[in-house]
Amino acid sequence: MPRTTHAIFAAAAVFAASLSPAVVMAQTAPAAQPPAQVQPAIKPTDAQLEKFASASQKVSIVADEYRPKLQAAKDDSARQQVYREADEKMVKVVQADGLTVDEFNGIGQAVQQDAQLRQRVIDIAQKKAPAGGATPQ
């Protein structure tokens, strides 16, 4: 199960970071490696990208909620419990937005690999962002 959480946490981190252009540049321009020409794992539809953008925002909120709990965990057993709780909550959020975890992770991978897809997700998320920058609870 932690493998699912790690993938979802990674997608959430990419999404959250992608809203900050400076972070995107830092993430997309590795110092020691030339950019790879890798085909995305999948080619998501516009509807899937909308679902992904929505789910990513919610997953990012869950990740932010559980990050301090992970840091405060005193041992591996406690960390595993936090991971399980976060995993369950993230899976529910992703499924509530109409995606399977595999679809969400696949789209996340495609978005990481394709700058145009990433920009489309950013545009979708910014259009759906509530006025005043409030985050949904």
| pLDDT band for position 34 (cuts 50, 70, 90) | very low
**0.75 surpassed by pTM:** no
> What's the whole-number average pLDDT of the chain?
76
* Greater model confidence, 32 or 54: 54
| Cβ contacts of 100 within 8 Å, gap of 6 or more | 94
Task: Give me the residue spans of the domains in the chain.
Answer: 2-18+50-129
pLDDT digits (tens, 9 = 90+) for 107-132: 999 999 999 999 999 999 888 776 55
